[in-house]
Amino acid sequence: MTAATTGLDQLLEQGVAGKRVLVRSDLNVPLDGSVITDDGRIRASVPTIRRLADADARVVVTAHLGRPKGAPEERYSLAPVAARLGELLGTDVAFARDTVGESAHETVAQLEDGQVALLENVRFNAGETSKDDGERAGFARQLADLADVFVSDGFGVVHRKQASVYDVAQILPSAMGTLVSTEIDVLRRLTEEPQRPYVVVLGGSKVSDKLGVIDNLLGKADKLLIGGGMVFTFLKAQGHEVGKSLLEEDQLETCRSYLARAEELGVQILLPGDIVVDTAFPSGDRTPEPRVVPATEIPADCLGLDIGPAAGADFAAALSDARTVFWNGPMGVFEVPQFADGTRAVAEALTRTEGLSVVGGGDSAAAVRTLGFDEGAFGHISTGGGASLEYLEGKALPGIDVLEG
């Protein structure tokens, strides 16, 4: 059983020419049919793959797409990703039609030094996500048969105890890829003596998705800015009516406890003072009819879909002197222009932050790209929303522990 602590630089110094290197990347991109609508994760995977190929390794990339149930589903094929990866690398990427079967073995056998292949969706195999340790390990051994060395570079899955993330690293000599090591370094800067003022911005739909982060960061952050759908549970907890807005009744007492704890700790929780509402969620051919109301006066027939302009200005002001910022979750339904201004205001404020600004993956990263921001204007854009949140909650990440153990 091998649990190596090698970094990519060390691995390259040892030499990988002619070796088959299995790289676990995160290529889980959104598709519209077979069209990739956001290639951010593919672009993030390129540096590690390119460094290995330039060192004459025979690079075998494995990844997942979507949530197939352990069997092939055409809509989750990685074929479109192989084509885009090849474009970004500037070279052909061979595509295996299965993960550990005949096509995979033939494809890998035909690789020459410096060439790259992508295996079909690893989740087309039940062993990848199995809760049975033996079944998962058995599939990991099949993956390991295709390689001499393993490189973990899929940060978006390191919080999962899965065959291609965890078990393979116990079989093959292993190394942490550039993307994963960068992500972990950034997250450590957020949790271990961050520069102050330290501001955390949380949005998205549900308070329940962020409970662990709020609980853990209340003792670390100086300010906590709350937007998105989760704000309405906080407003309700303060005794305000929220109309038809998203509401988690079972989290009201939790929100009250967070507000009280923040006051005791001297942490400022900033809720929006105004909200953009409409009488229906945007869908179909209906033209949105947004209007701005005080957050404490949401009409009974309306639902909140974005923080208002005054709130956007307040949030930007609260971020103006920050030396460390972590942002996870949009402020509203940013995909619809009429409800994107709050998210845009936060993103713009982060581009002006002089310290470390971290966009915590998932919808926040998608919003940055959708709204046309230069990704280089942010300190770091994470590729893994779930993994980032679990790290900030203080949870162990199996895919990291197996490399560092």
Q: Please tell me whether 390 is known to bind a ligand.
A: no
Q: Please tell me whether 244 is known to bind a ligand.
A: no
CB 272 within 8 A of CB 293: no
Is 227 catalytic? The answer is: no
- From CA 339, how far away is CA 328, in angstroms rounded? 17
Q: Please tell me whether 136 is known to bind a ligand.
A: no
Q: Please tell me whether 26 is known to bind a ligand.
A: yes
Q: Please tell me whether 361 is known to bind a ligand.
A: yes
Q: Please tell me whether 335 is known to bind a ligand.
A: yes
- From CA 134, how far away is CA 150, in angstroms rounded? 20
| Distance from the Cα of residue 117 to its chain's centroid | 24
Q: Please tell me whether 364 is known to bind a ligand.
A: yes
- Secondary structure class of 148 (helix, strand, coil): coil
CB 7 within 8 A of CB 176: yes
Which residue among 206, 256, 261, 323 is the active-site one? 206
Q: Please tell me whether 27 is known to bind a ligand.
A: yes
Other C-beta atoms within 10 Å of 378: how many? 21
Q: In what order do the strands lie in the sheet with 380-381?
A: 268-270, 223-226, 198-202, 324-328, 356-359, 380-381
Nearest one of 45, 53, 42 to 12, comparing CA atoms: 53
Which residue among 177, 227, 312, 362 is the active-site one? 362
Q: Please tell me whether 160 is known to bind a ligand.
A: yes
Is 206 catalytic? The answer is: yes
Contacts (Cβ under 8 Å, ≥6 apart) of 148: 19, 20, 21, 172, 173
Which residue among 41, 51, 189, 344 is the active-site one? 41
What tokens does 369 get? Answer: 């790209």
Other C-beta atoms within 10 Å of 195: how many? 12
Is 84 catalytic? The answer is: no
DSSP string, 286-354: PPP--EEEETT---TT-EEEEE-HHHHHHHHHHHTT-SEEEEES-SS-TTSGGG-HHHHHHHHHHHT-S
Q: Please tell me whether 304 is known to bind a ligand.
A: yes
Q: Please tell me whether 28 is known to bind a ligand.
A: yes
Q: Please tell me whether 240 is known to bind a ligand.
A: no
Other C-beta atoms within 10 Å of 14: how many? 12
Q: How many CA atoms lie within 13 A of 304 on its CB side?
A: 34
Is 41 catalytic? The answer is: yes
Q: Please tell me whether 164 is known to bind a ligand.
A: no
Supply the residues annotated as catalytic.
41, 206, 362, 386
Give the residue numbers of the binding site for substrate: 26-28, 41, 64-67, 123, 160
Give the residue numbers of the binding site for ATP: 210, 304, 335, 361-364
Give the residue numbers of the binding site: 26-28, 41, 64-67, 123, 160, 210, 304, 335, 361-364
Give the residue numbers of the binding site for (2R)-3-phosphoglycerate: 41, 123, 160
